[in-house]
Amino acid sequence: MPLPISFRSSVLLANAILVVFFISAFSNFTIGITATGFLLIVLRYYRLEPPEFNNVCERLGFPPGEDNSTSLSPILHRAGDVYYPENTLEAIRKLKDSGARGVEVDLAFTADGVGILFHDMSVDRLTDDSGYVADLTYEYISSLDVAAKHSCRPTSGVVKIPKLEECLETCLELDLMVYIDCKSKPKQTADLLCGLFKKHPKLYNKAVVCSFFPLVIYAVRNADPRIMTGQTLRHWALQFRIYRVPEHVTKWWHAVLAPVLDVILEWSIYSWVWFLCGNSFTLICKDDLSRETCTYFRKLGSIVIPWTVNDKAEKDFFQQSLKCPIMTDHVKDC
């Protein structure tokens, strides 16, 4: 009679066997077994325990089962950008009237280390100025108008770039769930978020952290395990990022290594990152999400949220067929 083994354990075991054969290909089987055993011990030692699943569902506002997924209102990507510019307090206040239950916002850091809401690496697309966010001080960035190129400009007036703390305070006031997407700088991100969560304890039930990069997620949860985290996933994530990095920062070998590192990153996310970081949910690019992928992550104990779903047919498929809550740019037809 076969020994009972959970799906999570079978995933770790299968990938451990894969690592054994990979290492053995460059050495011998004994070294492969020894090295893999050591890696498993390290993985178990540094593992961060995930929150209990029903507690995750309660905090995210999802039913523990799948039956009521279609009745859930969507999460607004970048706080929506139909009526006001993305990642602004004005957009957050407006979407409260739309019936959305939560917002996703992007964390960036200025040259002087202030955490702000901004998605792009440069201010060129949204403002009438130019320059990279990481090279500009908060004093300078706070003077920019992110409505300069938006259709709302004639009626909105000047719209400023807010600090992350201002966003979180507004969302707490409006009783909105916040998904904080973190791009880089693991230690700086962890220090900022842990400070804000301790200053505003209600955030433990009203805010979660997500990132493409496991180092950022691990740094946050290692600093404060009470913060709920999720992995953001899309194919070739590093290559997308490489081509958006300022030219004076990138090197020729970044572009050469990116495809290889993308394969390693995606394999890691599927095989062991969920175990190490104790993630509670997975945000998956809608173009990369299949029924099989959805089932896979659910068996790992993760809530699956596709992004960014704007087409009505796609919304119906993900909500009604796959029973997934969705992240969208607008709530129309949701």
Cis? peptide before 308, omega within 30° of 0: yes
Same domain membership, residue 261 and residue 132: yes
Q: Does the residue 9 lie in any domain?
A: yes
Q: Is residue 109 part of a domain?
A: yes
Residue 27 lies in a domain: yes
Distance of CA 106 to the CA centre of its chain: 9
pLDDT at 157: 86
Count how many domains the chain has. Answer: 2
Distances (CA, A) of 263 to 65, 283, 291, 292: 32, 18, 21, 19
Q: How far apart are CA 323 and CA 325, in angstroms?
A: 7
Q: Is the pLDDT of residue 1 over 50?
A: no
The answer to whether 80 and 94 are in contact (CB under 8 A) is yes
Residue 334 lies in a domain: no
Cα dist. 29→11, 36, 39 in Å? Answer: 21, 10, 15
Question: Among 56-70, 120-134, 207-221, which is the least confidently predicted range?
Answer: 56-70
- 236 φ, ψ to 5°? 60, 40
Can you give the length of the chain in residues? 334
How far, in Å, CA of 328 to CA of 311, rounded?
Answer: 9
The share of the chain scoring above pLDDT 70, in percent, equals 92
Per-residue pLDDT reduced to its tens digit, 66-95: 544 555 678 999 998 777 899 999 999 988
Neighbouring residues of 18: CB distance < 8 A, sequence distance ≥ 6: none
Tell whether 184 and 59 lie within a shared domain: yes
Q: Are residues 77 and 149 in the same domain?
A: yes
Answer whether residue 333 is part of any domain. no
Same domain, 40 and 82: no
233-270 confidence digits (pLDDT tens) = 999 998 887 766 666 556 777 778 889 999 999 999 99
Where residue 53 falls among pLDDT bands split at 50, 70, 90?
Answer: confident
pLDDT (tens digit per residue) in 22-32:
999 999 999 99
Residue 63 CB-density burial (10 A; 0-12 exposed, 13-18 middle, 19+ buried):
middle
In this predicted structure, what is the pLDDT of residue 65? Answer: 56
The answer on 232 and 123 residing in a single domain is yes
For the ranges 120-134, 242-256, 285-299, the lowest mean pLDDT is seen at: 242-256
177 and 313, same domain (yes or no): yes
Mean pLDDT of the chain, nearest integer: 90
The Cα 298–Cα 305 span in angstroms is 11
* Residue type present at position 229: T
- Domain span at residue 33 reads 1-46
Instruction: Kindly give the pairing relationship between strand 115-117 and strand 177-182.
Output: unpaired
Cβ proximity of 200 and 168 under 8 Å: yes
Same domain? For 199 and 159 the reply is yes
* Domain co-membership, 94 together with 26: no
CA 80 to CA 73: how far, in whole Å?
14
Q: What is the rounded CA–CA span in Å between residue 102 and residue 81?
A: 14
Q: Could you tell me which residue, 307 or 240, shows the higher pLDDT?
A: 307
Identify which has the larger pLDDT, 241 or 282.
Answer: 282
pLDDT at 2 exceeding the cut of 60: no
Rounded Cα distance, 167 and 176, in Å: 11
Predicted pLDDT at 71: 54
Q: Do both 238 and 115 map to the same domain?
A: yes
Q: Tell whether 31 and 146 lie within a shared domain.
A: no
Please state, in angstroms and rounded to a whole number, the distance separating the CA atoms of residues 323 and 69: 5
